[in-house]
Amino acid sequence: MTQIPDLLLEPMVRHALHEDLGAYGDVTTRAVIPEGTRYAARINAREPGVVSGMQIAAIAFRLVDPALRVTTHVADGQPCAPGDTLMEIEGSAASILSAERVALNFAGRLTGIATLTAAFVKETQGTATRVTCTRKTTPGLRAAEKLAVQHGGGFNHRYGLSDAILIKDNHIAAAGGIRAALGAATASASHMLKIEIEVDTLDQLSEVLEVGGADVVLLDNMSTPDLARAVEMVSGRLVTEASGNMRRERIAEVCATGVDYVSSGALTHSARTLDLGLDF
């Protein structure tokens, strides 16, 4: 099961709980539920998918009430079918109800991302191509959404602006061209920092190969025949990444070109929230 430490996820869950509980807490639950009422609740899947967000849902329940007993039955990264119980929560009914919406918001959203990622990954079968996400994530939720991509069998691109050099078309324009941009990048990069450069045409790729210094080339919005030609030109000297217009129905033909990675912002910005419910 792919996880990151709870410590790194807690701040976003705390923020969501503060947002939902407001300044005075859950007034409905406090007014309606008799003090001391205990219940056993279940998070159930209402449609098929690949589960993500169970770790975060558990954090939400425990932050509201550490005394709640949370049992995960379907781990993050595992498939689910309609009617499957993903998690059981036992304890104070008021605490369960106060955490319910935040837990479900995270779990449904992240399970949707994992499910869409798994569908993309399925299209790569029989090839060595990997599916990776981008930085097109919901502000404040990047750690969770990138984790969900892993749960769906995908890989993570750079986490943010600080962990890799990615020279895009606007960088190239502002720097004065490919040669200038690569020269400046290689002069400043440490031995631990990878350099990727974006190209839109095969002529630009030729220049990148001539200049040298890059570790990865991003082949942006190229036709499938141009992608195949680009892979031939690179001939293993650089890691190749195909990006732009990477719809699910196109993934198989792109993988057949031999690219190393297919990156798609749709994994995180266009995933549909999966229908999960909490039942008493």
Q: Annotated catalytic sites, by residue?
A: 101, 136, 168, 198, 220
* CA–CA gap between residue 185 and residue 179 (Å, rounded): 10
Based on DSSP, count helices (H) and strands (E) in the chain, helices before strands: 11, 12
Q: How far apart are the first and last CA of the chain?
A: 27
Q: How far apart are CA 155 and CA 149, in angstroms?
A: 7
Closest CA to 26 of 95, 91, 89: 95
Range list of H helices, 125-261: 142-151, 169-175, 178-188, 202-211, 224-234, 251-255
- Coil, helix or strand for 73? coil
| DSSP assignment letter at 240 | E
Q: Where is 61: in which H helix or E strand?
A: helix 54-64
**CA 82 to each of CA 46, 49, 54, 203, 254: distance values in angstroms, whole numbers, following the listed order:** 4, 9, 16, 51, 32
**DSSP letter assigned to residue 155:** B
Token representation of residue 77: 């990264």
Structural element, H or E, at residue 82: none
Residue of 266, 273, 198, 179 whose CA lies nearest to 238: 198
Give the span between the Cα atoms of 109 and 107, in whole angstroms: 6
CB distance 221 to 242 below 8 Å: no
**Lookup: tokens for 197:** 């450069």
